[in-house]
Structure 1
Amino acid sequence: MKTKIVKGLALASLLTVSPLYAADYVIDTKGAHASIEFRISHLGTSWLTGRFNTFEGEFSYDAEKPEASSVKVDIDVTSFDSNHAERDKHIRSGDYLDVAKFPKASFESTSFTPDANGGGVMKGMLTLYGTSKEIAIQLRK
C-alpha cells in the first residue's frame, strides 16, 4: 500500500512540467495544478481512492537534457484523506502510517532515464514510516 501511494506522489509532482526550456519550479499546491492521489486494491474486489491534502515540492526540468531532471516532494502524512473519517483515523494510527511518530514522508529523485516516448524511469529515495528506500517510478508522457 505504501509503495503505491508514493509512486502516485512522485508522478503527480511531475505532471506540471513545461517542456519549453530549462527551469526550476515550485509545485503549485494551492491551485488545481497538482495533487497527490492514490488508488489501492481493496480485497481484490474494489478500489480505495484518496489523496494527501497537504504537500509541497519542487522540480527541475530541461527538455534539452531531460536526464538532469529532478524532483523533491514533502508530504504531510497527517493529511491522508480517503473520504471516510473512521477509515482515515485507522490508517493514520500506529497500525498503518503512525502519523503521531512519522508525520512526514518525502521523495527525492536520484536519477531520471528518459525513453523515446517522452516518459522514462525516475529513481529516488522514498522516506515513509521512518524508513528510506530506493524506488523506481515509471513515468509516461
Structure 2
Amino acid sequence: MKLVKGLALGGLLAAAAPLYAADYAIDTQGAHASVNFRINHLGFSYVTGRFEKFSGQFSYDAANPNAASVQVEIDPASVDTNHAERDKHLRSADFLDVENNPKVSFVSTAYTTDGNGGGVLAGDLSLNGVTKPVEIQVSQIGEGEDPGAATAPASTAPRS
C-alpha cells in the first residue's frame, strides 16, 4: 500500500479551456498526461515508475474551478519501474495482485482551488479491492487552444 503514497496524476487539469465549463477526455496517447509514482526504497533511495495504460475524463469550469471533477482508471499490469524483475514482483499478489484486481480507479470527491492556479484534488482511490481517500496537489501549467488541432488530420487509427 506504500505505492499509493507516491501516486501522482499529472496534467489532468492542464488542458482546460478558460471560458466555459467543458468535459475532457484525458489524452493518454500524447505527452499531456501520465500516472507516475515515487516510493522510498529501503530508506536509501527512491524508486520512480509509471503506469503505461490508463484512461479517464475530467470536467473543468474556469469560472467555478471548485466544481472540477476527475475520474481515472489504471491498468495495474502496466506498471513500469524500468526494472523487469521488480515490475514482475509489483504485479504479484505481494503488491498489486493484478490477476485478482485488474483495475485501479480514482474518482474525485472535491476540488479546492488555492486561488493561484493550483489546489487540492480529493477523491477515492480503489486499489486491491480497498478504497481510501487521497488528496493530490494540483498545479495548473497552462491552458488554451491546441495549435495543432486546426491543421492536424483527424484519425481514428489506433496508435502504437
Q: TM-score, normalised by structure 2?
A: 0.80
1:119 alignment counterpart: 118
Secondary structure of the residue that 2:12 maps to in structure 1? helix
Equivalent residue number for residue 36 of structure 1? 35
The residue that corresponds to 1:135 in the other structure is: 134
1:90 is displaced (CA, Å) by 0.5
Q: Which residue type is aligned with residue 93 of structure 1?
A: S
Q: Tell me which residue corresponds to 2:46.
A: 47
Superposed displacement of residue 71, structure 1: 0.3
Q: What is the TM-score with the length of structure 1 in the denominator? A: 0.90
Letter aligned with residue 5 of structure 2:
K
Are 2:26 and 2:56, in contact at CA under 8 Å, matched by a contact in 1? yes
Distance 1:105 1:48 in 2: 20
CA contact (8 A) 1:16 1:34 kept: no
Ranges in structure 2 where 5+ consecutive residues have no aligned partner: 141-160
Deviations 1:32-90 (A, max 9, x none): 21111111121222121111000000001000000110000000011011111111000
Query: When you count helix as a share of all residues, which structure comes out higher?
Result: 1
Instruction: State the superposition RMSD in angstroms.
Output: 1.5
Give the alignment of 1:48-67 within 5 angstroms: 48-67=47-66
1:77-96 alignment, distance < 5 Å: 77-96=76-95
Who wins on radius of gyration, i.e. which is larger? 2
Separation of aligned partners in 2, 1:2 and 1:15: 24
Distance 2:18 2:40 in 1: 33
Count how many residue pairs are aligned between Structure 1 and Structure 2.
139
Matched residue SS, 1:36: strand
